[in-house]
Amino acid sequence: MSNVLRLAIVDPVDASRDALKSTLLSMDMVWLEAECSRYEFFADVVAQTHPDIGIVSLNHNPEKALQLVNQLSEASPECSIIVVSSSTDGGLILRAMRAGVKEFLPQPVRIEDLVAALQRIGNQRFGRGDSKSRGSTVIAVAGATGGVGCTSVAVNLGCSLAADPRNTVALVDIDLCLGDADVFLDTIPDYTLLDVAQNVTRLDFTLLKRSLTKHASGLYLLPRPVQLEDMALITPDDLRRVIGLLKATFTHLIIDCSKSYNAIDMVALEMANHILLVTQLDLPCLRNIVRLMMSFGQMDSIKDKVKIVVNRVGLDNHIGLKKAQETIGREIFWQLPNDYRVMVEVRNNGVPLIEQAPKAAITQSILALGNALCGSGESLPETGAAALKTSAVGKFLNLWPSRGRVTPGG
């Protein structure tokens, strides 16, 4: 699980509870596990959901609220307590601190005060330093057109990241009409994106993982709906909630987008940390890349996250990398070599590259891509760094030490 803080809140006043809830839902560093409107029920809520932090409002009844804080400190010491109050009475603040409160925030709560308090508690719980980064890395894989290899990249990137025991990785297929990530992994899922979207408010972390299909590689899969008519039942807001829950559960989230760039796809692009725009070196693809980049350039939530990935480099194309780069006016982030025989074999067998062909050039390139996107700056494992440095793909793509990036004019 990624270092996202899970919260539960109690406030009998609907207006202030809704305001706090709205603030929390806008923050990536937290997941709102539960909310409660009665002090007397909140201890049971905490015992059942095991949140990292409980937020208690004192305004409605300070005496009952402080009794609750004392009860939580004894019954659930692993749950850090934050209290919020519009009162500035020093005696009330002192009593709250003596009851075991970690942070006391004035109400209405300012987001900068809340973030600072959460960071202090997070540092105590997870430790400081870059080695324990908070949050989840979300990678959206989109394409310049159909058939450029987006699903191949998404599935195999997910499996390569899942091979690291420090990672927990999920793949969501949001090509609601023709998605086939389940075919690439040779799985028949019990549940789909529709099931999770319709029940997201009732799911906890345990039930969520049971709703996903776990592949032998360690990758969790959430596939597209089975029936075409079910597409209309998934809304952009549903997807936001699903991604939010997955971010609070997994260290890495891969989203395989459709090629329609509809409202569902745009939610994924907005919520992603990295957008891999997969293309090939042919005129239709490059034309679409130019069109897409013109549109993305007007979207502040997307434009700086796009990374162009050229797939099937080495295929007999009449357009070279230098010419392609001049055409799109943007640096190419990564190149994946053409290995048609291996890719057809793994796709037909429903086995990821890292299992079927771990030493293949395409496998090593995808391993290096994962490290470039999500690596901590440490060297790749033996199957990645050492093999890549001496492999044909390392020489062919000049991946060392630039790790696959194409320098301008290259």
Residue whose entry in the numeric block shows the structure tokens 């597209």: 224
Q: Evaluate whether 269 touches 20 at the Cβ level (below 8 Å).
A: no
Give the helix ranges, DSSP H, for 5-163: 14-25, 39-49, 62-75, 90-98, 111-126, 150-162
Q: Evaluate whether 69 touches 92 at the Cβ level (below 8 Å).
A: no
Q: Evaluate whether 246 touches 170 at the Cβ level (below 8 Å).
A: yes
C-alpha–C-alpha distance, residues 346 and 206, integer Å: 31
C-alpha–C-alpha distance, residues 389 and 387, integer Å: 6
Q: Which two tokens stand for residue 4?
A: 């996202």
Query: Number of C-alpha atoms within 13 angstroms, CB side, residue 339?
Result: 23
In this structure, the number of other CB atoms found within 10 A of the CB of residue 62 comes to 17
At residue 28, the pLDDT reads: 63
Q: Evaluate whether 200 touches 242 at the Cβ level (below 8 Å).
A: yes
At residue 210, the pLDDT reads: 86
Q: Which two tokens stand for residue 30?
A: 């937290």
* Pick from 182, 157, 323, 347: nearest CA to 252: 157
Residue type, 140: A
C-alpha–C-alpha distance, residues 221 and 173, integer Å: 8
Q: Evaluate whether 39 touches 88 at the Cβ level (below 8 Å).
A: no
Q: Report strand pairing: 169-173 vs 220-222.
A: parallel
At residue 387, the pLDDT reads: 37
Q: Which two tokens stand for residue 338?
A: 């053409």
pLDDT in tens, the chain (410 residues): 456 788 999 999 999 999 888 888 767 678 888 999 999 999 999 999 999 999 999 999 999 999 999 999 999 999 999 999 999 899 999 999 999 999 999 988 887 788 888 888 988 876 654 444 446 899 999 999 999 999 999 999 999 999 999 899 999 999 999 999 999 999 999 999 999 998 876 776 667 888 999 999 999 999 999 999 999 999 998 998 888 888 877 889 999 999 999 999 999 999 999 999 999 999 999 999 999 999 999 999 999 999 999 999 988 777 888 899 999 988 999 999 999 899 999 999 999 999 999 999 999 999 999 999 987 444 343 333 333 333 333 433 343 333 344 333 33
Residue whose entry in the numeric block shows the structure tokens 């089975």: 226
Give the helix ranges, DSSP H, for 178-282: 181-184, 193-199, 205-211, 236-247, 263-271
Q: Evaluate whether 249 touches 170 at the Cβ level (below 8 Å).
A: yes
Helix-, strand-, coil-residue percentages of the chain, each rounded to 5: 45, 15, 35
In this structure, the number of other CB atoms found within 10 A of the CB of residue 97 comes to 14
At residue 173, the pLDDT reads: 98
Domains belonging to the chain, first-starting first, are 5-131 (3.40.50.2300), 137-397 (3.40.50.300)
